Amino acid sequence: MIASTIAKQESKRKAVSILRVVTILVVGFLCGFLQAQEIASDNLSQLIQHAKVESASEISAFQFNASTYASDTRNLPIGVFDSGIGGLTVFEAILGLDQFNNQTLQPQPDGKADFENEKFIYFGDQANMPYGNYAAAGKEDYLRELILKDTVFLLGNRFWKSSSNKQPQFNKPPVKAIVIACNTATAYGLEDVKLALQAWKIPVFVVGVVEAGARGVLESQGSADTSSSSVAVLATVGTCASNAYPRLIGSTFGAAGRRPPQIVQQGFVELAAAIEGDPQIASKGSISDFINRDIANLVEQHRKSGSTSPISTIILGCTHYPLVRSQILEAFDRLRSKEENGQKVYAQLISEKINIVDPAQLTAKELFRSLARNQLRSSATQTVKQTAKQTVDFYISVPNPNCASLQITNDGALDHNYKYSRMPGKLDVEDTVNVPMTSSVLPKTSLNLMQSRLPLVWKSFQASQQ
């Protein structure tokens, strides 16, 4: 009896001891996590405070002149940004949208582009791309800073004529609205941008692509029973790590009183950079190699999970991926037909017909609605006789040769280790500069993709070069 009591007490003592250790570890982890979040928030707050100035003579790196927004902004351009050229797929959808009557604003086509009299500025932060790898490198805080810097650039008038110039210029028009045409940037920075715009108290709104993608999944399912199928999210590692799509799909279906489908994600490490024509990535394999490898990993992961729900819907969760849509579908078709020991091991896990959800057009529609709701459509669209002409200015980031700390590769790109080792909060370091996008600063791969897949963008790009 005594021995039994002692044993019970000893067991209880060990359990209490283990609980204390676990509690210490958990508290330590949470404290570290909260401290890291606080540091990130402090750096973002520093940038937000630094960015807004009230005089054109005060403008330095990562700043904009807020006095511009004191007058009517309707005729300012709309800003669209991405980590590179991938956002041009969203921009193509914006340029080609005809879902509304331009006079009545009713949701019916009128044979005219919905944004035919709007001006645009497109910015691709190519020097710092791909954004999807920053979170995996433990640099989520620096990624969030990059996203806010992109926003500040669009709001301001500061740019560089070329990277060889010693001083910037100050005649870029600011924007009246911002489209984050990047899934990773939306997932990690949309709320930061919204908070910053509120803090700056300027009449500018922002639209992101992830929410549009979640709504697109709901629309693609119709009235079908979603419990018997799966949705595959193809995105960057960073977007997958954020869990933004599963979270928003769940809330979107919940708000509609529907049961959400099973979701499986695959983070593509090199694909976005390969599509951009990054020479450091191109040396590792072809675009098809990366697609085949990562989709095979996705489907194998789905098989190992024990799920019997076939993948019937694919979300192109990176704006680069619509450019290789056919190659993605071909990879799924090959896997569906693949045999091992006389059996098609993946046939039951991939539907014969796959729905593709591309958030681009839904984002374009949301932009139109938001412009109308905020009464920010170009004044030329308010009259029957329209005289304005659509214009587009393209900008891209490149390494800054005047930055002493810069580390670049032989082909002139930011060194990989340098790129992913940078710390936030260094607002006196301008290691990349934003210059007009020209044929000479774009890889041939990017130019070919624009010309062959994005006709409206290509037409606008050619016009901007004249």
- pLDDT confidence bin for 293, thresholds 50/70/90: very high
3-state DSSP assignment of residue 63: coil
58 with 137, same domain: the answer is yes
Closest CA to 77 of 171, 155, 151, 160: 155
Strands 392-399 and 432-436: antiparallel
Name the amino acid, one letter, at 308.
Answer: T
Per-residue pLDDT tens digits for 417-446: 999 999 999 999 999 999 999 999 888 888
Q: Is residue 257's pLDDT more than 50? A: yes
Contact 64, 174 (CB under 8 A): yes
User: Pairing mode, if any, of strands 350-357 and 78-82?
Assistant: unpaired
141 and 264, same domain (yes or no): no
Tell me: do 226 and 346 sit in the same domain: yes
| pLDDT score, position 169 | 95
What is the band of 1 on the pLDDT scale with cuts at 50, 70, 90? very low
Structural domain includes residue 401 = yes
The whole-number pLDDT of residue 226 equals 67
74 plus 163 within the same structural domain = yes
Q: Is residue 192 located within the same domain as residue 48?
A: yes
What is the C-alpha to C-alpha distance for residues 208 and 256, in angstroms, rounded to an integer?
A: 21
Q: Does residue 39 or residue 203 have the better pLDDT?
A: 203
Cβ 265 vs Cβ 311: under 8 Å: no
pLDDT score, position 443: 81
For 263-284, what is the mean pLDDT? Answer: 86
DSSP class per residue in 81-143: EESSSTTHHHHHHHHH---S-TTT--SS--SS-TTTT--EEEEE-GGG--GGGTTTTT-HHHH
Shared domain check, 269 and 182 = no
pLDDT at 382: 53
Which CATH number goes with the domain that contains 166? 3.40.50.1860
Predicted pLDDT of residue 379: 82
- Given a contact cutoff of 8 angstroms between Cβ atoms, the answer to whether 186 and 180 are in contact is yes
Residue 135: its pLDDT value, please?
87
> Do 465 and 188 touch, CB atoms closer than 8 A?
no
322, part of any domain: yes
Q: Give domain status of residue 257, yes or no.
A: yes
Q: Which single residue is written with the structure tokens 């799909």? A: 249
Residues 455 and 326 in one domain: no
Q: What integer pLDDT is reported at residue 275 of this predicted model?
A: 87
- The reported pLDDT for the residue numbered 283 is 83
The sign of the CA dihedral 246, 252, 255, 256 is negative
Residue 220 to residue 215: CA distance in whole angstroms: 9
22 lies in some domain:
no
Q: Exposure string (b/e) for 405-424, b if CB count within 10 Å is 16 or more?
A: ebebeeeebbeeeebeebeb
pLDDT of residue 35 exceeding 50, the answer is no
- Give 54-60's long-range contacts (Cβ < 8 A, gap of 24+): 56/157, 56/170, 59/156, 59/157, 59/158, 59/170
Q: Residue 10: pLDDT above 60? A: no
297 and 332 share one domain: yes
Domain end point (choices 359, 385, 411): 359
Do 84 and 126 touch, CB atoms closer than 8 A?
yes
Q: Which of 324, 359, 394 is the last residue of a domain?
A: 359
Cβ–Cβ < 8 Å for 290, 330 = no
Same domain, 194 and 80: yes
Q: What is the pTM of this model?
A: 0.83
The tokens for 279 are 């020479």
- Angle, CA 191 vertex, CA 232 and CA 267 arms, to 5°: 25
Looking at the fold, whether 47 and 102 belong to one and the same domain comes out as: yes
Q: What percent of the chain has pLDDT over 70?
A: 88
- What is the predicted pLDDT for the residue at 381? 57
- Provide long-range contacts, Cβ within 8 A and 24+ apart, for 161-168: 161/435, 161/436, 162/435, 163/398, 163/399, 163/400, 163/401, 163/433, 163/435, 164/401, 166/402, 168/433
- Domain range spanning residue 131? 38-211+361-464
Mean pLDDT computed over 246-263: 92
Q: Cβ(44)–Cβ(145) under 8 Å?
A: yes
Of 359, 378, 398, the one marking the end of a domain is 359
The answer as to whether 79 is a domain residue is: yes
Domains identified in the chain, total number: 2
- Whether residue 406 lies inside any domain: the answer is yes
pLDDT above 70: residue 87: yes
Give a yes or no: residue 31 inside a domain: no
* Residue 231 predicted with pLDDT over 90: yes
pLDDT above 70 for 7: no
Q: How many residues does the chain have?
A: 466
Across all residues in the chain, what is the average pLDDT? Answer: 87
Q: How far is CA 389 from CA 77, 119, 364, in A?
A: 12, 8, 19
Instruction: Look up residue 335 and give its two tokens.
Output: 């896997």
pLDDT of residue 389: 65
Q: Which of 236, 247, 226, 230 is nearest to 306 (CA)?
A: 230
Percent residues over pLDDT 90 in the chain: 68
Q: How many Å apart are CA 328 and CA 1, to the nearest integer?
A: 70
Give the integer Cα–Cα distance in Å for 196 and 205.
11
Which residue intervals of 305-415 are DSSP H helices? 325-337, 360-373
Tokens of 446: 């990017």
pLDDT above 60 for 9: no
Nearest to 115 by CA among 370, 454, 458: 370
115 and 199, same domain (yes or no): yes
pLDDT confidence of residue 219: 86
Range 64-71 average pLDDT? 94
Residue 446 maps to a domain: yes
Residues whose CB is less than 8 angstroms from the CB of residue 251 and which lie 6 or more positions away in sequence, other chains included: 214
126 and 175 belong to one structural domain? yes
pLDDT level of residue 220 (50, 70, 90 thresholds): confident
Q: What angle do CA 60, 417, 281 make, to 5 degrees?
A: 105
For 373-394, what is the mean pLDDT?
A: 74
Each residue of 40-57: pLDDT tens digit? 578 899 999 999 999 888
